[in-house]
Amino acid sequence: MEKKRIFRLFFAWQDEKEQAWLEQMAAHGWILDEVGFIQYTFRKEQPQAIRYRLDYQDVKQNELQEYLLLFADAGWEYIGRLNNWFYFAAKESTAVEIYTDAHSKVAKYKRVMRTLLVASFPLVYYLVFYFRSFAARGSSVPFLMMSLIQFLLFIVWLILMINIVRIWAKVQKIEKGM
């Protein structure tokens, strides 16, 4: 069976764009087979109208089966998982959307925001802490290397913040439509 691997990066707030892309691939006969970090594996089949949906859940191991079974019963086939992102596909056009009210849709995005926020705390702490000792020039580590590490961490923190802000904007948009 013909397979193809594509490397592509989607940020947390681009889940709808990612879904649309996967659907487009399926429309051209490339069906999502596996999901990995920044990489997607597709298998070649007939062009199909498949809907893809990404869910975000903080699901415990013992709750996993219940969660996946419920979705399967509702017509959503489980494709794969990336951290807490779950990928589902529906072949039948009759399968009901995963989220059918604004409240639960917002709840999903808030779960994402919470995780990103929590991830950003140690970064902030590190950056602030090192900025202070850095300013005191007490470190024996070469100046340039410290700067580089700090710079990279700052970029990571910035990316996290942008993600949080854009997801927050999404939440606002959904709530306005409420």
Partner 1 sequence: MNKSKNAEDLLPLTETSFYILISLMEPLHGYGILKKIEEMTHGRILMGAGTLYGALKNLVENGLIVEVESDSERRRNYQITETGRAQVTREVDRYEELLVNARREIEK
Counting contacts by CB under 8 A, is residue 55 touching partner 1? yes
Answer for which of 13, 22, 40, 108 binds partner 1 (CB under 8 A) is 108
Give yes or no for residue 82 binding partner 1 (CB under 8 A).
Answer: no
Complex with partner 1: residue 2 or 73, whichever CB lies closer: 73
Output the smallest distance, CB 34 to partner 1, in A.
Answer: 22
The least distance separating partner 1 from the CB of residue 132, rounded to whole angstroms, comes to 42
HSE, CB side, 13 Å, CA atoms: give it for residue 123. 18
Q: Which is closer to partner 1, CB of 14 or CB of 57?
A: 57
Q: Note whether 92 and 75 are within 8 A (CB).
A: yes
Q: In this complex, which beta carbon is closest to partner 1, that of residue 68 or of residue 156?
A: 68
Interacting residues of 151 by C-beta distance below 8 A, sequence separation 6+: none
126 binds partner 1 (CB under 8 A): no
Q: Which stretch binds partner 1 (CB under 8 A): 8-16, 25-33, 100-108, 151-159?
A: 100-108
Single out the segment in contact with partner 1 by CB under 8 A; choices: 19-27, 103-111, 153-161, 169-177: 103-111
Please tell me the distance from the alpha carbon of residue 22 to that of residue 30, in angstroms, as a whole number: 8
Half-sphere exposure for 44 (CA within 13 Å, toward CB): 4
Q: Which of 36, 33, 55, 37 is nearest to 45 (CA)?
A: 33
Pairing of β 3-7 and β 39-44: antiparallel
Angle made by CA atoms 52, 159, 40, in degrees to the nearest 5 = 30
Stretch that binds partner 1, among 4-12, 60-68, 143-151, 166-174 (CB under 8 A): 60-68
> What residues pair up with 55 in beta bridges, in sequence order?
86
**Binding footprint of partner 1 on the chain (CB under 8 A):** 55, 57, 65-67, 69-71, 73-74, 76, 96-101, 103-104, 107-108
